[in-house]
Amino acid sequence: MTVSGNVFRYPEAIKDRFLETEDIQFRDGSKASPADVWHYLTEIGPKKYPNVYDYSNYFGRKISGDVTLPFSLKHNYLIMTMNERMTKAKQNGVPVVFVQGGQSVDPYYAAGAIALRPASVGIWASGQHEGLNLNQEEVRRANQKEKAYRAISFEVCQSAGYENIQEGTVPVDMIAPFSCLRCSDVSYGLEAHRHGKRKDVKLFLADYPLDHQKDKEWAITYFAENIRRLIESIDELTGNKTTAEDLRREIKLHNEGRKLAMEIADLWWSAEVPPTNGKDRRDLFQMGGMELHGDPEASLSLLREAKGYIAERVKNGQKGFGVSDDPARIFVCGSCVFPNEYRIEEVGGIVVGNDNHWSDITTIVEEDGDPFYNLAKAILSYPYEQSIKERAQWTVEQIKRSRADGVLFLYNWGCNTQSAVARALVDEIKRESGLPTLIIEHEQRGTQTEQMQNRVNAFVEMLK
Amino acid sequence: MAIKTLELIRKRLAERPEEIAKARREGQKVVGWQGYNIPEEIIYALGLIPVRIGVGGDDRLVEIGARYISTKNCVFVRETVGLFAENKDPYIQNTDFLAFDATCLQTYRTAEILEYYFNKEVIILGVPRNFYWPEAKVYFTKEVEYFTKRLEEQTGTKLDNQVLADTIALYDRIREAIVTIYQYQAATANYLSWEETYDLIHAGYYLDRREYLSLLEQVLSELREKQGQPVIEVTEDEARIFISGSVIPPGDKKLISIINEVGGRIVGDDLWSGLIPYLEVKIPENSLQGLAVGYLNRTPHGALPYLDLDTDQRIKRLKELIKTFKAQGVIYHTLRYCDPYTFKAKETKDILQKVGIPLLEIHTEYAGSDFEAIRTRVEAFVEMIRNKHYEEVAV
């Protein structure tokens, strides 16, 4: 790794070994060779997106610096090429669907669409602005967000890409989230698009039933109908007819990703020392959701390759870059936000797991039988969406598997539904696991980062 | 001259907690419920005493509730939790179990918190968000059937079809009486204010429903005697205000009293703690399925998203009611962190602007710290409406 004046560069010393690694396979049949990736990361990227190469620890999305992990480099490549890849997909007639709700994205891809979560839509929008340093990029993002706050309400916890979609900067074809219990802003944020400027964006809500939903046949049947209608709505965009077999095939593909992520997590958690830093761990685990890169095949090819590297590091007792000796291990629960892993590592901690998104990744879908019913049943079974006690029980299992020393419950400012159960969940987790816990509200619009970090740091110090 | 029956209702409300306590001692069970889509008819038909729980306006209880639920929840749900945490309210003390629906996610979360921290038995009624789909009606019917089964298990009683039919008829009459009384309160020469009507609705949360109907009919009889048929016209000195937005439960008088103090006259609302639950309830048959369909076909609650603005029944109803009550401006009340209504404030303002109705959003909590700031804004709004009226008359 080379760092000059807080600007990161990939070191030439790792090039030869990196070039021997696997290609990235894309859904459209194309590939990116390690040479392509290397060229992009070392030649194109620094010119197009200088902000990405900012190496301050205050920048939570900074490049990990663990340069001998090929998946980490390839992940950065996929993130930086989001705009180019989405533009290409759109030119090829592939519809892009905005999703939310922490769900698996199998049905969207089965119908031939690309499913993007808010963060990915934000990355796509950022990719359209070249040559900006970190400060310029942050100002641009904040300005964009302000438009959404004005159009919806200043109390939206996240504007969920509203500003980018309504401004037309990202040509999303459809907004089709799942309602579910995790977030109330999903439904109302979707509804807000009805008064927006863009009238060409299709709106659809997959209605997630609540309360012991996985044990009620009528709830599963109803949700299966929602999935069926969702696919039909995407079919209207593509002009194709998606079959049950298409969905079954997609479920199998996504199951492979989910299983790989779980196997990698077991390896990671079994290690004496953390084999990666917190940022690489989070990216890697989340790849199991097959939505991170807007291309499930690409995510899958990274996961397949990553497993071997993690296994090797675990076998050799190799520690991830930037991780301190005997770090305090923290499991993060709560909303769709996370702390700055680098800052936690600075003070001797490491984030070893999250409940958000991990809940859907750890739910394997039955492959035999009616795929609509199976998928509905699996989605309604996500532990994150269950009662306080049931969710806490699953979370405690993950905490124990990850050998966490403490639990941080983080919720976004304005997040009604996660904040509502924060104390109850934490009380239950504390009772079941005996671990210290801390509840923190994630700051509004980046204005209180240091206050939050101070509290997290104090928690880490206490654990150590 | 005031409506005499109102005094009687106040007296009966004062006596009601002890009456309920006595009924419990004699073996009757009390269901405290909260939500928008719970068919109360089922609770009543099973011989249970329904009490619609939840009050507002008490910042102390809000603070107590926030120790269990969070400060990022609306004050209504925080106060509801505070009521259970303190456990001094006689209606709360006298609930045997609770029934909540999943219309608003925060209400659903409240139910979870009450179950977790206060060991309350809570029966939840699932509510579909794609409520206009035929499949959603099937799902909701199943939910209503399951809800009824859970209630039957609690009581050891089976729901009798004839009793249900009688109860639906009773509730239809209550709804009809309330809708008619609303016409009277909005009339030019009115003997009943909107505030009194609002209290009248809230009396129905606690009183026995047969007695309640009888009292409503007495009120109506007095009104007919005094006013004849209600005539709704705008008079020169009025600023006729319509209230929309978040819940204003019993006890939350802040905004209402400010509007009165500055000379505004409230003539209507589409609040889920006001008129809207009683409008256009058409139960197609005397069965659980009939109830499910009838409830789901009402004006939808703001927490149920609807994706096409042009065919939104809630917006359509709002416009109709403004017209019916000849309102000249809308005060759109939003509670902090009440996303279902807060997110729609700007949209509603834009829609009403197109039909010449001004809208003022008041975003508040139960604390008194913003009282003067709200008063200044409401006063200016009321003045603006009056001036507009004078200008129109002059033209």
DSSP, residue by residue, B201-237: HHHTTTS-HHHHHHHHHHHHHHHHHHHSS------TT
Is the per-residue pLDDT at A101 higher than 80? Answer: no
From residue B148, how far is each of A245, B38, B127, B157 by CA, in Å?
Answer: 39, 11, 14, 10
Mutate to test the interface with B, among A156, A187, A201, A211 (most CBs of B within 10 A): A211
Which CATH number fits the domain that encloses residue A123? 3.40.50.11890
Name the residue of chain B whose CA is nearest to A225's CA: B135
**Which of chain B's residues have a Cβ under 8 Å away from the Cβ of A181?**
105, 108
Q: Which residue has the tokens 């009282």?
A: B371
C-alpha–C-alpha distance, residues B114 and B108, integer Å: 10
In-domain check, residue A433:
yes
Could you give phi then psi for residue B98, rounded to 5 degrees? -120, 155
Candidate from B139, B339, B346 with C-beta closest to A218? B139
Is the per-residue pLDDT at B1 higher than 60? Answer: no
Distance from CA of B307 to the nearest CA of A (A): 5
Q: Token pair for residue B312? A: 């939104």
From residue A419, how far is each of A61, A439, B72, B110, B274 by CA, in Å?
Answer: 25, 9, 7, 11, 29
% of chain B exceeding 90 in pLDDT = 93
**Nearest Cα to A62, choosing from A1, A121, A20?**
A1
Is the per-residue pLDDT at A202 higher than 80? Answer: yes
CATH class of B16-160: alpha beta
**Which of chain A's residues have a Cβ under 8 Å away from the Cβ of B129?**
179, 187, 205, 207-208
pLDDT band at residue B64 under the 50/70/90 scheme: very high
Which amino acid is present at B216? L
Q: What is the mean pLDDT of residues A312-324?
A: 97
Amino acid A113: pLDDT? 98
In-domain check, residue A381:
no
pLDDT band at residue A164 under the 50/70/90 scheme: confident
The structural domain count of chain A equals: 2
From residue B130, how far is each of A134, A191, B74, B134 by CA, in Å?
Answer: 42, 12, 24, 9
**Nearest Cα to A191, choosing from A119, A121, A100, A90?**
A100
CB contact under 8 A, B342 and A191: no
Same domain for A350 and A218: no
Which CATH number fits the domain that encloses residue A464? 3.40.50.11900
C-alpha–C-alpha distance, residues A75 and A70, integer Å: 8
With a CB cutoff of 8 Å and minimum separation 6, the contacts of A164 are: A121, A122, A124, A125, A144, A170
- Lowest mean pLDDT of A28-32, B38-42, B322-326, B388-392, name the range: B388-392
In-domain check, residue A202:
yes
With a CB cutoff of 8 Å and minimum separation 6, the contacts of B317 are: B270, B276, B279, B299
With a CB cutoff of 8 Å and minimum separation 6, the contacts of B289 are: B141, B144
Asked whether the beta carbons of A159 and A78 are under 8 A apart, the reply is no
**Which of chain A's residues have a Cβ under 8 Å away from the Cβ of B106?**
184, 416-417, 420
Mutate to test the interface with B, among A199, A205, A210 (most CBs of B within 10 A): A210
Distance from CA of B88 to the nearest CA of A (A): 23
Mutate to test the interface with B, among A158, A182, A191 (most CBs of B within 10 A): A191
CB contact under 8 A, B113 and A424: yes
Is the per-residue pLDDT at A283 higher than 90? Answer: yes
Asked whether the beta carbons of A392 and A432 are under 8 A apart, the reply is yes
The model's pLDDT over A298-317, given as tens digits with 9 standing for 90+, comes to 999 999 999 999 999 999 99
C-alpha–C-alpha distance, residues B98 and B50, integer Å: 10
Q: Token pair for residue A396? A: 């405690």
Is the per-residue pLDDT at A58 higher than 90? Answer: no
Q: Token pair for residue A111? A: 């119908």
Is the per-residue pLDDT at A152 higher than 90? Answer: no
Q: What is the mean pLDDT of residues A262-271?
A: 98
CB contact under 8 A, A226 and B146: no
Distance from CA of A272 to the nearest CA of B (A): 37
HSE-up of A369 (CA within 13 Å, CB side)? 8
User: What's the DSSP call for residue B268?
Assistant: E
Amino acid A445: pLDDT? 61
Residues of chain B with CATH 3.40.50.11900: 230-394
* Residues B129, B301, B116: CA angle, nearest 5 degrees: 75
Distance from CA of A199 to the nearest CA of B (A): 11
C-alpha–C-alpha distance, residues A184 and A187, integer Å: 6
Amino acid B393: pLDDT? 62
CB contact under 8 A, A155 and B342: yes
Q: Which residue has the tokens 């989230």?
A: A177
In-domain check, residue A412:
yes
pLDDT band at residue A336 under the 50/70/90 scheme: confident
Name the residue of chain A whose CA is nearest to B103's CA: A210
Could you give phi then psi for residue B61, rounded to 5 degrees? -70, -35
CB contact under 8 A, B124 and A388: no
Amino acid B395: pLDDT? 58
With a CB cutoff of 8 Å and minimum separation 6, the contacts of A128 are: A83, A169, A170
Is the per-residue pLDDT at A137 higher than 80? Answer: yes
pLDDT band at residue B387 under the 50/70/90 scheme: confident
From residue A309, how far is each of A21, A268, B172 by CA, in Å?
Answer: 11, 11, 69
The model's pLDDT over A367-390, given as tens digits with 9 standing for 90+, comes to 999 999 999 999 999 999 999 999
CB contact under 8 A, A153 and B346: yes
Q: Which residue has the tokens 């963060």?
A: A119
**Which of chain B's residues have a Cβ under 8 Å away from the Cβ of A420?**
69-70, 72-73, 77, 106, 109-110, 112-113
SS3 of residue B33 by DSSP = strand
Amino acid A59: pLDDT? 87
Candidate from A188, A216, A387 with C-beta closest to B340? A188
Candidate from B70, B108, B339 with C-beta closest to A155? B339
pLDDT band at residue A168 under the 50/70/90 scheme: confident
C-alpha–C-alpha distance, residues B301 and A164, integer Å: 29
The model's pLDDT over A401-443, given as tens digits with 9 standing for 90+, comes to 999 999 999 998 888 999 999 999 999 999 999 999 999 988 7
Asked whether the beta carbons of B195 and B260 are under 8 A apart, the reply is yes
C-alpha–C-alpha distance, residues A267 and A311, integer Å: 6
Size of chain A, expressed as the number of residues it contains: 464
Amino acid A171: pLDDT? 92
C-alpha–C-alpha distance, residues B318 and A154, integer Å: 24
Q: What is the mean pLDDT of residues B58-74?
A: 97
CB contact under 8 A, A152 and B343: yes
Q: Token pair for residue A131? A: 């040559």
ipTM, 2 dp: 0.95
Last residue of a domain, one of A241, A261, A291: A241
CB contact under 8 A, B128 and A207: yes
Last residue of a domain, one of A212, A241, A270: A241
Q: What is the mean pLDDT of residues B41-55?
A: 97
Candidate from B68, B130, B307 with C-beta closest to A423? B68
**Nearest Cα to B336, choosing from B67, B71, B34?**
B71
Distance from CA of A354 to the nearest CA of B (A): 21
SS3 of residue B163 by DSSP = helix
Asked whether the beta carbons of A307 and A378 are under 8 A apart, the reply is no
Number of Cβ pairs < 8 A linking chain A and chain B? 146
In-domain check, residue A230:
yes
Is the per-residue pLDDT at A242 higher than 80? Answer: yes
Residues of chain B with CATH 3.40.50.11890: 16-160
**Nearest Cα to A421, choosing from B77, B84, B101, B112?**
B112
Q: Which residue has the tokens 């196997």?
A: A263
Mutate to test the interface with A, among B130, B349, B351 (most CBs of A within 10 A): B130
Q: What is the mean pLDDT of residues A219-230?
A: 98
The model's pLDDT over B129-161, given as tens digits with 9 standing for 90+, comes to 999 999 999 999 999 999 999 999 999 999 999
The model's pLDDT over B83-111, given as tens digits with 9 standing for 90+, comes to 999 999 999 999 999 999 999 999 999 99
In-domain check, residue A279:
no
> Which residues on adjacent β-strands are paired with residue B332?
B244, B361
C-alpha–C-alpha distance, residues A387 and A210, integer Å: 10
Distance from CA of B269 to the nearest CA of A (A): 22
From residue B161, how far is each of A139, B210, B285 by CA, in Å?
Answer: 64, 18, 11
% of chain A exceeding 90 in pLDDT = 80
CATH number belonging to domain B230-394: 3.40.50.11900
The model's pLDDT over B186-237, given as tens digits with 9 standing for 90+, comes to 999 889 999 999 999 999 999 999 999 999 999 999 999 998 999 888 888 8
In-domain check, residue A290:
no
Write out the residue range of the structural domain in which residue A140 sits: 91-241
Q: What is the 3-state secondary structure (H, E, C) of chain A?
A: CEEECCEEECCHHHHHHHHCCCCEECCCCCEECHHHHHHHHHHHHHHHCHHHHECCCCCCCCCCCCCCCHHHHHHHHHHHCHHHHHHHHHHCCCCEEECCCCCCCHHHHHCCCEEECHHHHHHHHHCCCCCCCHHHHHHHHHHHHHHHHHHCCCCCCCCCCHHHHHHCCCCCCEECCECCCCCCHHHHHHHHHHHCCCCCCEECCECCCCCCHHHCHHHHHHHHHHHHHHHHHHHHHHCCCCCHHHHHHHHHHHHHHHHHHHHHHHHHHHCCCCCCCHHHHHHHHHHCCCCCCCCHHHHHHHHHHHHHHHHHHHHHCCCCCCCCCCCEEEEEEECCCCCCHHHHHHCCEEEEEECCCHHHHCCCCCCCCCHHHHHHHHHHCCHHHCCHHHHHHHHHHHHHHHCCCEEEEEEECCCHHHHHHHHHHHHHHHHHHCCCEEEEEECCCCCCHHHHHHHHHHHHHHHC
Mutate to test the interface with A, among B335, B339, B348 (most CBs of A within 10 A): B339
Distance from CA of B229 to the nearest CA of A (A): 40
Is the per-residue pLDDT at A1 higher than 70? Answer: no
**Which of chain B's residues have a Cβ under 8 Å away from the Cβ of A189?**
343
Q: What is the mean pLDDT of residues A33-57?
A: 96
Candidate from A155, A194, A424 with C-beta closest to B337? A155
